[in-house]
Amino acid sequence: MLELQTKQQAKSAVKKRKGLDSEGRWGLLLVSPYLIHFLVFVVGTSVASLYFSFSDYDILNPPKWTGLDNYAKLFEDPLFYRALWNTVYFTILYVPAKTFLALLLAVALNQKLKGLKFFRMVHFLPVISSWTVIAYVADAVFNQRIGFANAFLSKLGLAPQNWLIDEFWVIPVLVLIAIWKSVGYMMIIFLAGLQGISSDMYEAASIDGANAWQKFWRVTVPMISGTTFLVVILNTIYSFQNFEQIFVMTGGSTEAGSTGGANNASLVLMLFMFRQAFSFFKMGYASAIAWVLFLILLAITLIQFKLQKKWVHYD
Amino acid sequence: MQKRFPLNKIVGYLFVIASALIMLVPFLTTVFNSLKTYKQYMQFPPEWLPNPAQWSNYTTVWEQANFSSYTINSLIVAILSVIGALLSSSMIAFAFARLRFPFRDTLFMIVLGTMMIPGIVTIVPQFIIFKNLGLLDTLAPLWILEWLGQPFAIFLMRQAFLNIPKDYEEAAKLDGCNPFQIYWRVFLPMCKPSLATLAVFTFMGKWNEILAPVIYLISDENFTLPIGILSLSGQYKTEDQLLVAGALISLIPILIVFLFAEKYFVEGSKTSGLK
């Protein structure tokens, strides 16, 4: 009797374990595509990239280990500093202006204005367009010969500018276009955040006699700081990796060597890396650039996370 | 307070209308540019309206360049990517949301982690992998990774699966369904809105992508639309107004998708901000 009971218990225990195993097996089976993705295309490629960055590799011949040569060369390359500065300059102009404008737009639309859907759609038009389309839209405004910006200047009696080639103008104009393209997207993220603020906060502020401006700075801005933080992080990462816009707008050709603007005025880090890899086939050097870019980005993101304690409010 | 409220609204309207004009006017100008003759296109100072409108620019660019081939390539890439993303990412997400298996939570943290890590360091080795697989100058590198699951898509679908009550799962189990059947027959049909969101986002991303096509495609007959147009502008320096028409043609499919699925696009935009 006792024996039978133990047997049954053992049997059910086996059954239970077998059941768990089956679910476990199914689980692993179903996630296996991502396991392959992760092992081959994340871990494998990262290890390979790190190895390449310490070697001389032109694709045709096997990589030759050269130690820190690529990194040493990089830190002596004036083009690297040029590209680094251009990238930082782009980010400094781009991230704060875009964040502020997107927040203002979201606040305006959050007042339950009529035609919300229409305004949202208008602001999404550039978001859904490829950079190739945007390049022609930007041409309509900033092209040296046919653009309306120069027509306007000449009406004022001012000299026309070569907006997308001129060393002084190229980055600010690219930033302006980049903000124009994607401010609608960030506006939606802010709108979602704004809808999470309870109206009690505004009523309390009204009772205390706050005007609209004070409400914006004292209630909206602090209450939305979590979203703002996220938008700043996303945009900084985007800005450091901006390739498509620069590639399409300051070259206009698939011949990789021909891009980067006059005197490399719009050569950013991603374009610098792309050129080394796919125009000159210096895969080792390009990998070193990629790692330096990655480390810079990591450092900036970590600093932003550290700084968030100072200005991001969580309830 | 009653007086202040309308003033806010007026300022809001003025701001939003000004902003909408800044968004729309350059687009309209581009549309008008696409309808000009070359002579009118190049004239300075520019005239806003085309006179007369050259509708034939659109048929000319379509017929002269390899446009139908670019369009078909773009469609192949976008559609295969969408199918891959819907099938694999939802399956992976279902396992993360609903099944218990070893290292599940660690693995999911990894998925989230890879979402944060920018893909720059993997570009060169990825190119070498696809080159060694003999996939250079084919469309495969542009869509194949979608079939192995993408972090954002997995995250999006996992959220959807987490929201389904446990009762459905248990009822299906009693009926003798295995986990795959539960996923396929019960959970997947219940997540259509999230699937639609994912489809819209994937389609748009792939339709507009430039970096990967520039790296992987070499011959003209394999080009997708964005780089096909780009290469035309490099090759033929004249007749720019035709290229403007070409670029606007490439916008039409995405515009149609957007008009039909605006709701899902907004949903996806919000989600991308939440994490």
Cβ contact, residue pair B254, A128, below 8 Å:
yes
> Per the domain annotation, does A45 fall within a domain?
no
Could you list the residue range(s) of the whole structural domain that residue B49 is in? 7-53
> pLDDT tens digits, residue range B193-247?
999 999 999 999 999 999 999 999 999 999 999 999 888 876 666 688 889 999 9
pTM: 0.90
| Same structural domain, B189 and B130 | yes
Neighbours of B23 (CB within 10 A): 21
Cβ contact, residue pair B29, A146, below 8 Å:
no
Q: Residue A74 is encoded by which pair of tokens?
A: 């990089």
Q: Cis omega before residue A62 (within 30°)? A: no
Report ipTM for this prediction: 0.92
Cβ contact, residue pair A146, B19, below 8 Å:
no
Could you list the residue range(s) of the whole structural domain that residue A119 is in? 76-309
Contacts of B123 in chain A (CB under 8 A): 273, 277, 290
> Per the domain annotation, does A42 fall within a domain?
no
> Per the domain annotation, does B59 fall within a domain?
no
Minimal-distance CA residue of chain B relative to A147: B46
| Same structural domain, B161 and B25 | no
Cβ contact, residue pair A49, B42, below 8 Å:
no
> pLDDT tens digits, residue range A263-302?
788 899 999 999 899 989 999 999 999 999 999 999 998 9
Residue of B4, B14, B15, B19 to mutate, testing the A interface (most A Cβ within 10 Å of its Cβ):
B19
Residue B236 belongs to domain with CATH number: 1.10.3720.10
Q: Which positions 101-140 of B are in contact with A (Cβ < 8 Å)?
A: 101-102, 104, 107, 110-111, 114, 116-118, 120-129, 131
Looking at the 3D structure of chain B, how many domains does it have? 2
| Same structural domain, B15 and B108 | no
- The residue with greater pLDDT, A117 or B81, is B81
| Same structural domain, B75 and B44 | no
Mean pLDDT of chain B: 89
> Per the domain annotation, does B79 fall within a domain?
yes
Q: Is A306 exposed, middle or buried (0-12, 13-18, 19+ CB in 10 A)?
A: exposed
Q: Residue B77: which of B230, B189, B216 has the closest Cα?
A: B216
Point out the residue among B9, B102, B273 whose CB comes nearest to the CB of A24: B102
Q: Are strands A64-65 and A55-56 parallel, antiparallel or unpaired?
A: antiparallel
> Per the domain annotation, does A69 fall within a domain?
no
| Same structural domain, B195 and B259 | yes
| Same structural domain, B97 and B229 | yes
Residue of A20, A29, A37, A156 to mutate, testing the B interface (most B Cβ within 10 Å of its Cβ):
A37
| Same structural domain, B77 and B205 | yes
Minimal-distance CA residue of chain B relative to A238: B118
Looking at the 3D structure of chain A, how many domains does it have? 1
- The residue with greater pLDDT, A4 or A115, is A115
Residue A41 is predicted with a pLDDT of: 92
CA–CA dist A123, A135 (Å, integer):
17
Cβ contact, residue pair A140, B111, below 8 Å:
no
Residue A98 belongs to domain with CATH number: 1.10.3720.10
Cβ contact, residue pair A132, B101, below 8 Å:
no
> Per the domain annotation, does A23 fall within a domain?
no
Rounded to a whole number, what is the distance in Å from the CA of A6 to chain B's nearest CA? 27
User: Lowest mean pLDDT: which of A35-39, B187-191, B262-266?
Assistant: B262-266
Average pLDDT rounded to a whole number, residues A167-189: 94
HEC assignment per residue over chain A: CHHHHHHHHHHHHHHHHHHHHHHHHHHHHHHHHHHHHHHHHHHHHHHHHHHHHCEECCCCCCCEECCCHHHHHHCCCHHHHHHHHHHHHHHHHHHHHHHHHHHHHHHHHCCCCCCHHHHHHHHHHHHHCCHHHHHHHHHHHHCCCCCHHHHHHHHCCCCCCCCCCCCCCHHHHHHHHHHHHHHHHHHHHHHHHHCCCCHHHHHHHHHCCCCHHHHHHHHHHHHCHHHHHHHHHHHHHHHHCCCHHHHHHCCCCCCHHHCCCHHHCCCCHHHHHHHHHHCCCCHHHHHHHHHHHHHHHHHHHHHHHHHHHHHCCCC
CA–CA dist A250, A262 (Å, integer):
9
Cβ contact, residue pair B125, A33, below 8 Å:
no
| Same structural domain, B70 and B44 | no
Neighbours of B192 (CB within 10 A): 11
| Same structural domain, B82 and B42 | no
Average pLDDT rounded to a whole number, residues B254-267: 89
> Per the domain annotation, does B27 fall within a domain?
yes
Residue A55 main-chain phi, psi, to 5 deg: -140, 170
Residue A135 is predicted with a pLDDT of: 93
Residue A179 is predicted with a pLDDT of: 97
> Per the domain annotation, does B58 fall within a domain?
no
Host H or E run for residue B194: helix B192-208
Minimal-distance CA residue of chain A relative to B26: A137
> Per the domain annotation, does B168 fall within a domain?
yes
| Same structural domain, B26 and B48 | yes
> Per the domain annotation, does B131 fall within a domain?
yes
Q: Residue A314 is encoded by which pair of tokens?
A: 């969580």
> Per the domain annotation, does B110 fall within a domain?
yes
| Same structural domain, B29 and B151 | no
Minimal-distance CA residue of chain A relative to B226: A132
| Same structural domain, B86 and B122 | yes
